[in-house]
Amino acid sequence: MNHGFDVCVFSIALPLESAAHSKNQCKVVFPKRSFGFLGTGLASKIAYLFSLPELKRCIKDFEPDVLHAHYASSYGLLGALSGFSPFFISVWGSDILAFPNKSFLHHKLLKYSLNAADRVFATSNLLESEVQRLFSIEATVISFGIDCDVFYPHRTSIYYSENELVIGSIKSMEKIYRMDWIIKAFAEVQRLRPNASLRLLLVGGGSQLDILKALASEICSSDTYTFTGKVAYSEIPELTAQLDIFVHAAINESFGVSTLEAASCGKPAVVCNSGGANEVVLKNDTALLYDEYNFDSFVSQLLILVDDASLRIRMGKNARSFVEHNFDWKNNVHAMINSYQDVLG
């Protein structure tokens, strides 16, 4: 999508090699010293300051009309210290839900960054309310959009055939996403529906990958589950299309992009009734919800979709329509452009 803008991306952490090259009207700049992904600790934010002189040089060379920091507790700090205006910040998730709760200094640091911004954006209503609650700062909600041309309704057979019912999730294999719940729920559904051709597909890498593989080998029927490990984002649309039912187990999800991507592919979902995940589904219309700490509720809701093919089809169609009307990426881009123009005049 080309709107006639020249874009310069200043990134501290080196991305995949394929993403490091300039494309179209986008220039990508990296500091001479890369710090990788430094996490959310206070010391890591201080380390970012070594990149401040290079950011200022980048601003001087590129001469932007707008400086927009994505992620408030890291790039937001750099942007605030640059002194450039107009300056925008987008809060994404843990920068608001976790970082300011670590200590008084973390809270003050984030408050400084947000107060330096001419406008604050939030990717979900949950995050907007947290910005208001913690700092009494108004934020404009512009969600992560989904490219409906890339994530579209179809069914692939990359790992499993079309006569097999594939349950799955696309998330990092980390404790916060409770992937063990998904594996255990799948094993229980297998036990309760022994004649169903059920398969499990878990997409993503992470520190818990080997532990989760061991769990699956212990409690799931052999040859009925697949862990892809870390994959390129370009592979995600076709892997999402492999699913028949999308499942989500994280409790404090700030939004739920993967749930929306599955919905855009026409996949019904079973999601946890908490956090930002509620913003990306319609209860009993695009997804079935379960109580966040009730494992039996998770299994029972999953069984409903396993047993009812017509319900899966109906909810999948509703899910696609829901994304098209509320989270189409093109509309989100236009909303952000309008916000830029509103400030610039």
277-289 pLDDT tens trace: 778 899 999 999 9
Which of 254, 245, 247, 251 is CA-nearest to residue 294? 251
Whether residue 52 is found in the same domain as residue 134:
yes
pLDDT > 80? residue 21: no
Q: Does residue 153 sit within a domain?
A: no
Domain count along the chain: 2
184: Cα separation from own chain's centroid: 23
Q: Does residue 84 sit within a domain?
A: yes
Whether residue 177 is found in the same domain as residue 322:
yes
Whether residue 217 is found in the same domain as residue 237:
yes
Q: Does residue 154 sit within a domain?
A: no
Strand order in the sheet with 119-122: 67-70, 87-91, 119-122, 139-141
User: Which domain range does residue 57 map to?
Assistant: 7-145+329-344
Looking up residue 101, the CATH number of its domain turns out to be 3.40.50.2000
28 or 21, greater pLDDT: 28
Q: Quickly state the pLDDT bin for 46 (edges 50, 70, 90).
A: low
Whether residue 198 is found in the same domain as residue 314:
yes
pTM: 0.84
Q: Does residue 251 sit within a domain?
A: yes
27: Cα separation from own chain's centroid: 24
Whether residue 188 is found in the same domain as residue 107:
no
pLDDT > 50? residue 37: no
pLDDT > 60? residue 323: yes
Q: How far is CA 33 from CA 11, 12, 25, 59, 219, in A?
A: 11, 8, 25, 18, 46
Whether residue 228 is found in the same domain as residue 283:
yes
Give me the DSSP letters along 55-68.
HHHHHHHH--S-EE
Q: Where are the beta strands (DSSP E) in the chain?
A: 7-10, 26-29, 67-70, 87-91, 119-122, 139-141, 165-170, 198-203, 225-227, 245-247, 269-272, 287-290
Of 23-32, 36-45, 327-336, the least confident: 36-45
Determine the length of the chain: 345
Whether residue 213 is found in the same domain as residue 319:
yes
